Every structure is written in structure tokens, then in C-alpha cells.
Amino acid sequence: MATSNYFCGVCDRRHVYKSPIVWCPECDERLCTECEEHHSLSKSSRNHNTIPISEYQKLKPDVLNISQYCKIHNEKYQIYCKKHESPCCSNCIVESHNKCRDFVKLVEVIKNAKTSSAFYEMEQTFIEVSENIKKIRENRQENLKALLEGRSLIEQQIEQTRITINKHLDKMQENMIKELYKVEKHEKEEICQLITLLEENENEIAKYQRNFPIIKQHASDLQAFLAMKQFEKSVLEKDEFLQSLIDKNTLKQNSLIFHPNATLLSFVFNEHTFGDVLVETKPHDVVLTRKKERQGQITVPKIKTKSIEDINLKLHRTIHGSGNNVYGCCILPDGKMAFTNYHNSVRIFNKDGLHDFDVKIPYIVYDVDAMNENNTLVVTSGSDDSRYLTIIDTKDKQVTKTILLDSVAYGIAGNDAELFYSAREKGIQMISLQDESVQNIVRDGMPHYCYVATLNDFIYHTNNSTNAVTCYDLKGNKQWTFMNDAVLKYPVGIAIDKDGNVFVVGNKSQNIVVISADGKRNRELLSSKDGLENPWGMSYNRSTNQLLVANNSNRAFVYSLVWEKKDN
């Protein structure tokens, strides 16, 4: 391993300082003219491909510093730990990875790294993130333009109104203009700060893109692979930052509007304000490019998606006393379970399956879902007479908020920022919990008692009228539909596992069916023989791989999902 960045590595060990002319990626060594000649003739290295040192030095320092040798043990890396995503020497395995079980040979991992699909996908990721930065920056610039136009229009309104008013209002006009500029300045400052931050991210992405071809051409496979891991982390951070702008509704469309005082002319001497300058907020229309989902990517050889043929359900616990007319259920992050009792209550059980407490609600309740970040529940009514979403804090054991909807809501699913629900004649709708704005995702009318589930950028919906399960994207475009009434009749409750496999309750077929992520294959997992009697609700906890299935009355089951590959 070379000890200097400026001298031939071989000569340097002999305390002879000669300038290198080439670099050998396989030897991880700089070589001068004489050493390069010996290197090209030696039996052990004659087939090594060297590159001019001037080209090698174009690599970034963090790539140049990647070595084939362990810094702790000074031993060549030979193994790759998939759990820690780290190259290891034999001593590392003994000292630091003795509890790890998932190892592969490093040579297999880095083989064809620069021509691998992961390397290509990283190049595409740079492009994608850059595009998303550009979209949001342009969106903010358009908002700046709208603010300027709004300001101009309001100034005209103020001036036109001012013409009909006597000079007694001069001071009021001056104050109004000041307020207008103050509001506009505040909005502009926030947008400009975001644009500046976006430009910084865009420049950093561009810098990575400029260095990527150099790495691809001149870095060793190991350097390319580990550099790619470094880039991946940085890009994921930027992507999460961009997604946070969407999730937190940072891109709300602000515009300036003016509300003149309608009675100003007739009550000139009794009024003390010229009007109001308000910021009108509209939902943004920015949709981030999503060529692929990048959550916890591993760029080692990919494991094939688990087949539904390998999925098995093992009974973990039976819940007694879940209540009558149970149409919805869910597993909370802390392991508690919630069941809706159609007539006015939500029943909570602890993680051991024992009844904990009930929350009374003054109207009919239908479905329930747990939010991601805390132990908060959202409940739908499923009734024309009570079109509400109800928020329940399970810690305080009480209702904290009620949201009035313009449609009936049956099945519901989502997260802390956005909720999707089946809205009967209005199709599938999404509500933002930040500003309570509602968007139509799917406009096709739906029957009563339909359910929804979500995973990444997809929405899954059951239709008991057509015995169908349909997958949509977030724009409402249909991806696939599964229909087979010989297998699944009157589908209601639905849940999705981490691999995109779809679990559905067949109420009239008295079973639980799993459908593959592409909607093409299916398999029955449970039937009436397993205790299903008028089954209805379902929930899946992706962190514990547990599936909760509720009969309509008094009994529910918690299953553990296990994958057992069958022998051919």
C-alpha cells in the first residue's frame, strides 16, 4: 500500500523518492518509470491495467483515500458484511462482526460495480434529484412573480379606491401600503431563503455529477463502489430534504389579496383602516419525480422479492371481547390495538391482548388507522349523518380534534401529514392534516364499505360491488386490478406488507387472500377453518411483521408473518 501521495510507492519504501507516472488499481500502488516496467513484466502483475497518474489524480480526495486495505489491521479487505454495508478483513470479522451472519465475498460484490445497475441507478438518481430541485426552485420563482403581480394589482385597487375618498384618508393609505410591502417582504424572504438552499443543493448535486464520469473511468471497482455508497448517503439526505418540503406543505402557493372595506365611502370618518392584506394559500401542484423508491437501498447483489408462495401466517394471539359490529381495526406503533364499535366507541387493547380502555364518540364510527409518528388514531364515521374524521390521543384517552368532511368516509389510511379515504360517490380523496385541504385522487364513484391502504407512492382499494382490488398511483392512474370471485368475494379490509404484497379480507368467501405486488398471483392464507366468522377489518404492522384480522363480532387474531421457502 502506498505511503505517499507524491512518490512511487515501491521506491518510497526504499527511501528513494521518484515521481510516479502510473497508478495500478489492482495493486493500489503508484509506480515510477522503472517500477512500472518491472510491474508490466512480472508474472503476478503483467495483466494489470494501469492508468496515467495525471488521470488518477483527477479523482476526488475522498475517493483517492479509499484503500483496499483495512486501516485498523493493515490487511487486505476480502469479505463484505451486508448488515453493516462494510468491507472487512479477516480480523474485522473476528473482532467486530462476530455476531453478523450475512457475508459475501468482496470480489463478488465489487465485480462489474461500474457497469452495474446500481451504479447506473445512482447516475439516474443525480438526474432525478437535480430535476426535483429545479421543479421546486421554479415553483418558488413563480410564486415570487405572483406576489409581485399581486402587489401591483393591490396597489391599483388601493389607488382607485383612494380617488373617491377625501384627503382625510392620506395617512391610512400610507399605512396600508406599508403593511402590503411588509407582508410581501416577509413572504419573499421565506421563499428566497428556500431558493438559496435549493441552489446550494443543486450545485452540490452538479458537483457529484461532474465527478461521477471520472470515477467511473479511473477509479478501482472498490473505490467506485464505496464512493457510490458515500454519494448515495448524501443524495438520500437531499432527497429526504426535498420530500420534507412536500410532506410539510412548505410549497404552499401564497399570493397577495386585498379586501377593501365595503362601507368605507359612507363611513369615512368612522373607519381607521384602509383594508386588509392577506396571504391566500393554495395547495401546491409540485409532484417530485419518482423513477424508483430509495428507502434503505443496498447496492450489494439484490435479494429477490419474497414470493407469496413462501408466506405463512402463524397465530400469535387471539383477542376476545373486541366488541360488536367491528368494521375497522389497527395496530399502533407501541403494540396496542384499536377496534371500532359501529355504535359510538373505539375499544383499545394493550399489546398483551387485554382490554385497556374505550373512547366514546357521539356518532357512528367505521374505520380506524394509526398515524406513523405517535400513538394517535384517526377514525371515520361511514355515515351520511356524521361526515367526520375524529382524532384520538391514546395517551390522554380522549378525542382531540374533529374534522368535518364534505363526503362520507369509509376506509382510511395514511400518515401524519396526509390521509387517504374511500369517499363513495367522490371516489378516493386525500386530506392534508396541516390545512385540512381536500384533493380528489380517484374520481370514479365507489360503493359503500370500501377500504384503502397505502405503500410508498401507491394506493390500494377494495370494491365489494365488483369483488375487485385495485392499485392506483398518487395521480389516480390505475396500475392493476385483481378480480377472481372464485377466490375472493366481497373484499373489505386490506393491508400491505413491506414488499408490496396485498392482504385482503374476503367477507363472503370467509378467507384471507394474499395478492402479489404486481397483482398477477394470489393465494389463500386463512379460511373459516381458522376461526374466521364474518371477517371484516385488517391491519398490518410493518415493523413487527404482524397482521391483525378482526371478525365483525367479539374476536380478532394477531398473526406473525413468516417466510418459509418451500422445497421444489
pLDDT in the model for residue 165: 64
Segment 342-364 mean pLDDT? 91
**What average pLDDT does the structure give for the chain?**
85
Residue 283, in any domain of the structure: no
Q: Which helix (H) or strand (E) holds 229?
A: helix 221-247
Sheet holding 546-551, edge to edge: 311-320, 555-563, 546-551, 535-541
- Per the document, the length of the chain is 568
Q: Is the pLDDT of residue 295 over 60?
A: no
Sheet holding 376-380, edge to edge: 368-370, 376-380, 388-393, 398-404
**Rounded Cα–Cα distance for residues 364 and 387 (Å):** 10
Residue 301, in any domain of the structure: no
Q: What spatial distance separates the first Cα and last Cα of the chain, rounded to whole Å?
A: 48
pLDDT in the model for residue 566: 58
Same domain, 319 and 464: yes
| pLDDT confidence tier of residue 265, bands split at 50, 70 and 90 | low
Please write down the HEC assignment for all residues of 186-219: HHHHHHHHHHHHHHHHHHHHHHHHHHHHHHHHHC
**Rounded Cα–Cα distance for residues 77 and 86 (Å):** 10
Q: pLDDT, tens digit, for every residue of 434-486?
A: 888 899 999 888 999 999 999 988 999 999 999 999 999 988 999 999 999 99
Q: pLDDT, tens digit, for every residue of 391-424?
A: 999 988 999 999 999 899 999 998 778 899 999 9
Residue 235, in any domain of the structure: yes
The answer to whether the pTM exceeds 0.75 is no
Residue 101, in any domain of the structure: no
Same domain, 232 and 377: no
Domain-terminating residue out of 270, 297, 326 = 270
pLDDT in the model for residue 271: 55
Same domain, 347 and 211: no
Please report how the helices 170-218 and 221-247 are oriented relative to each other, as an axis angle in degrees rounded to 10.
Answer: 160
- The C-alpha cell at 351 is 399489546
pLDDT in the model for residue 568: 44
**Rounded Cα–Cα distance for residues 424 and 382 (Å):** 10
**Rounded Cα–Cα distance for residues 366 and 451 (Å):** 10
Same domain, 221 and 353: no
Strand, helix or coil for residue 75: coil
Share of the chain above pLDDT 90, in %: 36
**Rounded Cα–Cα distance for residues 221 and 215 (Å):** 9
Q: Are strands 535-541 and 511-515 parallel, antiparallel or unpaired?
A: unpaired
The whole domain housing 419 covers 309-563
Same domain, 461 and 409: yes
Domain-terminating residue out of 240, 270, 300 = 270
| pLDDT confidence tier of residue 283, bands split at 50, 70 and 90 | low
Same domain, 457 and 556: yes
Question: How would you class 249 by CB atoms within 10 Å of its CB: exposed for 0-12, middle for 13-18, buried for 19 or more?
Answer: middle
Q: Is the pLDDT of residue 293 over 80?
A: no
240: which strand partners?
none
Q: Is the pLDDT of residue 304 over 60?
A: no
Same domain, 490 and 378: yes
Residue type, 435: D
Residue 70, in any domain of the structure: no
Query: Do residues 109 and 164 make contact, with C-beta atoms less than 8 angstroms apart?
Result: no
Q: Which residues contact 296 (CB under 8 A, 6 or more apart)?
A: none
Q: Which residues contact 178 (CB under 8 A, 6 or more apart)?
A: none
Residue 262, in any domain of the structure: yes
What CATH number should be reported for the domain holding residue 538? 2.120.10.30
Q: Is the pLDDT of residue 4 over 60?
A: no
Same domain, 209 and 314: no
Strand, helix or coil for residue 520: coil
Pick the closest to residue 119 from 237, 222, 50 (CA basis): 222
pLDDT in the model for residue 241: 83
Q: Is the pLDDT of residue 338 over 90?
A: yes
Same domain, 210 and 326: no
Q: Is the pLDDT of residue 264 over 70?
A: no
Same domain, 207 and 348: no
Q: Are strands 51-52 and 275-282 parallel, antiparallel or unpaired?
A: unpaired
**Rounded Cα–Cα distance for residues 87 and 70 (Å):** 8
Question: How would you class 360 by CB atoms within 10 Å of its CB: exposed for 0-12, middle for 13-18, buried for 19 or more?
Answer: exposed
Query: Do residues 552 and 326 make contact, with C-beta atoms less than 8 angstroms apart?
Result: yes
Helix residue spans in 74-169 (DSSP H): 90-95, 106-110, 117-163
Q: pLDDT, tens digit, for every residue of 108-151?
A: 888 777 766 677 777 788 888 888 889 889 888 988 998 898 88
- What is the tally of structural domains in the chain? 2
Tell me the CB-side half-sphere exposure of residue 436, using CA atoms within 13 A. Answer: 10
Same domain, 256 and 314: no
What Å distances lie between residue 103 and 89, 114, 525, CA to CA?
12, 21, 33
**Region for 177 from its dihedrals, namely left if φ exceeds 0, alpha if ψ lies in -120 to 50, beta otherwise:** alpha
**Rounded Cα–Cα distance for residues 290 and 127 (Å):** 11
| pLDDT confidence tier of residue 297, bands split at 50, 70 and 90 | very low
What Å distances lie between residue 371 and 142, 350, 414, 424, 515, CA to CA?
34, 17, 7, 23, 25
Residue 25, in any domain of the structure: no
Q: Is the pLDDT of residue 167 over 70?
A: no
Any idea what the Cα angle at residue 383 is, between residues 377 and 387, rounded to 5°? 65
Domain-terminating residue out of 217, 251, 270 = 270
More confident: 298 or 275:
275
More confident: 353 or 239:
353
Any idea what the Cα angle at residue 318 is, between residues 415 and 531, rounded to 5°? 105
**Rounded Cα–Cα distance for residues 46 and 26 (Å):** 11
Same domain, 369 and 513: yes
Residue 361, in any domain of the structure: yes
Segment 34-63 mean pLDDT? 86
What's the chain's Rg over C-alpha atoms? 31
Chain-centre distance for alpha carbon 388:
27
